Amino acid sequence: AQSVTQLGSHVSVSEGALVLLRCNYSSSVPPYLFWYVQYPNQGLQLLLKYTSAATLVKGINGFEAEFKKSETSFHLTKPSAHMSDAAEYFCAVSERSGGSNYKLTFGKGTLLTVNP
Amino acid sequence: KAGVTQTPRYLIKTRGQQVTLSCSPISGHRSVSWYQQTPGQGLQFLFEYFSETQRNKGNFPGRFSGRQFSNSRSEMNVSTLELGDSALYLCASSKQGAIGELFFGEGSRLTVL
């Protein structure tokens, strides 16, 4: 079964600084990879997804992620943090669970704090 | 278009009771998945329904069950509630299931006393 590791349960950055949220997965087969964001008292919202078309994936709100097969990583970055980026971020991997069915496994999440 | 709607948003139950949570997916979405979110365990997959059939199941005890109706609306039921069942229960709908984008509702927050 897939496992997803997000390094750092809490990341704090200053407004305008680089945001780097780390995600590593366990798989010998290139999977489907996702980043979701959860704002307080809300459900999750898709930021971006990797489906093998391109290793650098651009998402909403200025976020992007790079798929590195050799490192089994899919780190999320944003060049300049904004106060509105404060939220919890989840990395997720989709794996085949039988036949043509897939199951999504989430990492434990990283809470991003943006300081003024 | 309307998003995923979950009801109720908040509820309080006592140990031993049962609870039913409802999820109305986005129109046209046939896949509905349920997740349990807790501070300690994060997001854990409960089950997925597609066209009224359960096609994926997580590692939860049989007290957790679900179903999907012909209009794609889904319900999940937890019987004989335990304190550890206190959590945010999230429903997500999609066209393709777990290889595509999931659209999440705001969740039902269950507190078990």
Distance CA A96, CA A102 (A): 4
A–B CB contacts, 8 A cutoff, strictly below: 54
Q: Enter the tokens of residue B89.
A: 């229960």
| A103 neighbors B48 (Cβ within 8 angstroms) | yes
Instruction: Determine the pLDDT at residue A23.
Output: 96
SS3 state at A16: coil
Tens digits of pLDDT across chain A (116 residues) = 678 999 999 999 999 999 999 999 987 666 789 999 999 888 999 999 987 778 899 999 999 999 998 899 999 999 999 999 999 999 999 887 777 778 888 999 999 999 99
In chain B, which residues have their Cβ closer than 8 Å to the Cβ of A107? Answer: 42
Contact A109 B42 (CB under 8 A): yes
pLDDT tens sequence across B92-101: 999 877 777 8
Distance CA B35, CA B44 (A): 5
Q: Enter the tokens of residue A100.
A: 């043509």
Contact A42 B106 (CB under 8 A): yes
| Residue B56 confidence (pLDDT) above 90 | no
Instruction: Measure in Å the smallest separation between the Cα of B99 and chain A Cα atoms.
Output: 6
| A102 neighbors A53 (Cβ within 8 angstroms) | no
Instruction: Determine the pLDDT at residue A90.
Output: 97
Which of B29, B35, B37 shows the shortest CA–CA distance to B2?
B29
Contact B90 A102 (CB under 8 A): no
pLDDT-based confidence at B85, cuts 50/70/90? very high
Instruction: Determine the pLDDT at residue A26.
Output: 86
Instruction: Using a CB–CB cutoff of 8 Å, tell me whether B43 touches chain A.
Output: yes
Between B15 and A99, where is the model more confident?
B15
Instruction: Determine the pLDDT at residue A79.
Output: 97
Instruction: Determine the pLDDT at residue A75.
Output: 97
Contact A105 B92 (CB under 8 A): no
Instruction: Using a CB–CB cutoff of 8 Å, tell me whether A41 touches chain B.
Output: yes
